Structure 1
Amino acid sequence: MTNETEQQKKLSLDRGLFFINYKSADDSVSPPRVIVAPAEGHERRMEIILHPDATEPILYSPNSGLVVRINTPATLQVQVRPTRPGGSQSAIVRVEQIQAGRIPDAASPGNGVGLHVATEGLKVLGHVAGRGDIVVGPDAWIAGPAAPSRVEGVALEWPDKPASIDIRYAVQFANGQTGSGKMVPLGTYAGTRGRALPLTGVVLEMSGTDELKFVAEAGFLNAPTLRAVGKRVVLSGPTSREPLVGIRIGIERSAPAEVVATSAIPRKSAGSARVRVFRSQQRQAGAAR
């Protein structure tokens, strides 16, 4: 079989356990095969666990799957091959990270209802020039577009935070004041009060979960509103010196983990095939073309 009739993508995966699920194919009569293998040089970083009746890591039809155990961060290679000359190479493969077993509780990230209740308990404090300390819930503005004003410090509180999750954050000043850029733990005030030192940047970091991410917006003087999403968020103006005049911070669930490998091969020319792989681990979604 020539390279013209083989499409492949490589996925960078963190340490963990992943279920590779061949979900569907455009051609139900002669669906393409999905071949899963470590990238060259990464063979010792992972283990592919097959069904007892399988002899090789090949998924021949939809509704089949296998498990990959990643011992250290590694690259997994997914190939899509037609089963007949000129056949379809369109397939959808879902990659789901399998979480370690634990007893569910009201604040567990594995419990959708409990997770929603827990994130609703997030509180954000901001010290605003001329107004003092302001405390809001998630996704609410401190200062901001309707009432822009210098923000001189912030603190995050989350009483119902799941124990496995760690959150740290830092603030930045234009003049490099003491404490600028220093990461502090949840509940710690970062910034100044009454010194007319506006923040010029905010950094948010979250670890210990693949199911949550920050969603934050910030307004900087004479600059468009900035929006950032992810487990690590950096908010700053165009030159990193503009004063922060509004901020709002929320936490929400990440999109489901999914990898979609698809290509449409014209009947006359398999060489013009196009393949797209969308990789979305639970912490984020991205696209490689």
Structure 2
Amino acid sequence: MNRGTDLDQHKVVQLDRGLFFVSYKSAEDATSPPRVMVSPAPGHERRVELVLHPDADEPVLWQPNSSMVVRVEAPATLLVQVLPMRHGGSRAAAVRIEPITPGSPPTLTRTAMAYASPAVSSPAPALTQDVGPGLHVLAHVAGIGDVMVGQNAWIAGPTAPSRVEGIMLDWPDMPPGVDIRYAVQFANASAGNSKMVPLGTFAGTRGRALPITGIVLEMTGTSDLQFVAEAVFLSAPTLRATGRRVVLSGPTGREPLVGLRINVEGTQQAEVAVSVQPEPARPSRKEASSGRVRVFRSRPRQDAAAAGTGSARSSHP
């Protein structure tokens, strides 16, 4: 919106919400130019803010090439009045009102927004790899920075344990009807424990030396999917948990998280394996004409109960 006009006494200008630059361009009487006074229309005072030069004490442009800024919170009416400098003097002046636009930020994915967030800063650049489709896991690792992996890949972990201070989950191609939320826990209860957040939200801290001591993963919806998560807590064996709600923490709940791997898989149980083995030979007076065959049904390995409604078992890394 550009407005340029020769003003005679006064002008009423309708402005939308925004920031505007008011510029006194020229005057018909160059030797004794009129002054230009800017003010909100009666009743619109709360919608309009006049931003003046530090040395100015009233919203008046005294001569050509002077200017001010107008900030409009909601559509409002602005009055621009031209007043002669002397009795019978000229009232003709050219004033232009131009919008000041901030531009538009580039469209960011939820993952990119996590890197661009000004609320927290990373002391080191993010380390990324070709994570492929499926669940993406971003973690802030002490001394390394942000690390992103695909599902079923370790962040830190048994071979390279490091303190994990924050995580973010994302799933660009997540099946419809699925909802995932998660939370992190700290040894310090005042650090914002157990606040469940949606996909694409960073949970935890960066650069504050506050290691995570627990993680909660929760999946809802009609899908037959579930979490399969493994975590390594300092001085504790690797913990493995499965289920639509999983809680991971160390033996005392205060051990720092130093490794994490998260996968998503179907909840359908695999078919029970059947093995066929000949019966071991037994001493007998009569030789058997043929070896007998027995059928053994292997038992599926049962996971020990984990905290929460998911199940977990421990194994050494």
TM-score where L is the length of structure 1: 0.47
Which structure is richer in relative contact order (CA contacts within 8 A, separation 6 or more)? Answer: 1
TM-score where L is the length of structure 2: 0.43
